[in-house]
């Protein structure tokens, strides 16, 4: 019986209609940057997979491979999101409209 192989490139997708066109784990709504954010403080791929069912370990590794191949782009996206959050936290609430 032939063995089925997963094409690594098929594990990552980009669609302008999903998550603002950010790269995601195909068939899920999980952004590659989410995997990177989980991994950057030291979580192992196995720990990430355990925390994010139903993602498989192969999907986590594909996300990490994509992240490392596109680190500058993903890190810039993470930094922009953190900056937007920080600005929102520091901004005073809007005055109610009459």
Name the residue ranges covered by the structural domains of the chain: 32-87
Beta bridge partners of 31: 24
For 1-98, where are the alpha helices, taking DSSP H only?
Answer: 32-39, 45-51, 57-69, 71-90
pTM listed for this prediction: 0.81
Residue owning tokens 């990552």: 12
Distance separating alpha carbons of residues 87 and 80, to the nearest angstrom:
10
Provide the pLDDT confidence category of residue 8 given band limits of 50, 70 and 90: confident
**Contacts of 92 by beta carbon, 8 Å cutoff, 6+ apart:** none
Q: Is the pLDDT of residue 60 over 60?
A: yes
pLDDT tens digits, 16-36:
999 999 999 999 999 999 999
The encoded tokens of residue 92 equal 């005073």
pLDDT tens digits, 40-55:
999 999 999 999 999 9
> Which pLDDT value is given to residue 46?
97
């Amino acid at each position: 019986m032939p063995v089925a192989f997963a094409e690594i490139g098929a594990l990552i997708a980009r669609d302008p209609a999903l998550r603002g066109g950010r790269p995601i784990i195909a068939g899920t709504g999980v952004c590659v940057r989410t995997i990177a954010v989980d991994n950057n403080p030291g979580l192992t791929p196995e720990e990430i997979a355990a925390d994010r069912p139903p993602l498989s370990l192969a999907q986590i590794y594909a996300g990490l491979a994509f992240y490392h191949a596109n680190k500058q782009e993903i890190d810039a996206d993470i930094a922009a999101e953190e900056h937007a959050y920080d600005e929102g936290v520091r901004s005073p609430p809007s005055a109610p409209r009459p």
